[in-house]
Amino acid sequence: MKTQLLNIGFCLLFFVCQNCTANPDNKDEIGIEPARKTIVEKNGKLSVKEGQLVNERGEKVLLKGVSFGWHNWWPRFYNADAVAFLSNDWQCEVVRAAMGVDPERGYMRDSQFSTECLTRVVDAAIENGIYVIIDWHSHVIHTAEAIGFFQEMARKYKDYPNIIYEIFNEPERDSWSDVKTYSEEVVNTIRAIDKTNIILVGSPHWDQDIHLVADDPIVGYNNLMYTLHFYAATHHQFLRDRGDYAISKGLPLFVSECAGMEASGDGPINYDEWYKWVGWMKKNNISFVTWSVSDKDETCSILLTTASSNGNWSDSNLKEWGKMVREEMKAP
């Protein structure tokens, strides 16, 4: 009798399991909401096709996200909870880990601390199914150190489709010839280990001389894109014209840093120019990342000092720029 009851129990359990498997989206019957696919589950490994960022099915992709501030000054935000909040509440599709290279506590002076901060963000982005930019946040060339760093990152993360490498944040005074030579060496280093993940290449003059790059791009490598940075109160139509020229030459663009105020990061928000830029990026299917997750006393830092280190930020924790960024992230 006991054996018969056990057999009946196993049969009932099998029936229930089969029913759940056959009807995973039927909330009325089983009372479970189907899991929402992450942005990486939807798009998989990214690549560049005909000057555009595309997903693994060859469909155009436009990513929107937020950059963390310099890790050496705002390490308190470099944690898994903050990343999860930006992913789940703000609906960011990409975050940028801006690892400072030159200042105190930057990579050149404390590589272990710098790498630990960055990898916390990268690991959390992978866990939450969003894309993440590994940003060598420097204004000058450090070829040997960059090669060592990106070798380490490529070995650690080469098998994850979430990864985007940004090999030079904003070249300040170097010519495109010098930046190109540096970039070719670092790109070659990454490609020896990671054959396919996207690599972002900087352009001279704080990523504004994109027209010069368009006339002499790097050749011989796949899945390269070039960064254009703008601050809307300083950079107006002239820089969009340079972007249009680069696009006309087939150069793949990615706006890895942008904001609505002056290039200093401070001053009033220029709403008119900001929305012109947003319209231009969407028209041209250009992914963009806004600056920044930090609480510095300046317009472009999205948080007030009252904000917790771990997300869960309410309106009372956000500056006006933070509220604008959140609204844009959550917009379709």
Closest to 94 measured CA to CA, from 156, 40, 167: 40
- The DSSP secondary-structure symbol of 299 reads T
Residue 34 lies in a domain: no
Element (H, E) at 241: helix 237-248
Residue 39 has pLDDT above 80, yes or no: yes
| pLDDT (average), residues 180-203 | 98
* Cα distance from N-terminal residue to C-terminal residue, the chain: 60
| pLDDT (average), residues 52-67 | 98
Given this model, what pLDDT does residue 6 score? 40
Residue 38 lies in a domain: no
Residues 6+ apart with CB under 8 A from 24: 32, 34
* Residue written as token pair 């609480």: 295
Provide the 10 A C-beta neighbour count for residue 304. Answer: 14
Element (H, E) at 255: strand 253-259
Residue 47 lies in a domain: no
Share of the chain above pLDDT 70, in %: 90
Residue 6 lies in a domain: no
List phi, psi (to 5°) of 101: -105, -45
Average pLDDT, the chain: 92
pLDDT band at 15 (very low <50, low <70, confident <90, very high): very low
pLDDT band at 33 (very low <50, low <70, confident <90, very high): low
Residue 205 lies in a domain: yes
User: 124: domain range?
Assistant: 61-330
Residue 35 has pLDDT above 90, yes or no: no
List phi, psi (to 5°) of 88: -85, -40
Q: What is the rounded CA–CA span in Å between residue 136 and residue 154?
A: 13
pLDDT in tens, 49-59: 999 999 999 99
Residue 3 lies in a domain: no
Contact between residue 266 and residue 292 where contact means Cβ atoms under 8 Å apart:
no
Closest to 179 measured CA to CA, from 152, 154, 212, 145: 212
Closest to 227 measured CA to CA, from 245, 207, 242: 207
Q: What is the rounded CA–CA span in Å between residue 34 and residue 27?
A: 8
Residue 311 lies in a domain: yes
**CATH number, domain at 179?**
3.20.20.80
Residue 3 has pLDDT above 70, yes or no: no
Contact between residue 141 and residue 179 where contact means Cβ atoms under 8 Å apart:
yes
Contact between residue 193 and residue 155 where contact means Cβ atoms under 8 Å apart:
yes
- The DSSP secondary-structure symbol of 51 reads T
List phi, psi (to 5°) of 218: -70, 140
Active centre residues (catalytic): 170, 257
Number of domains in the chain: 1
| pLDDT (average), residues 197-226 | 98
Residue 179 lies in a domain: yes
pLDDT in tens, 88-110: 999 999 999 999 999 999 999 99
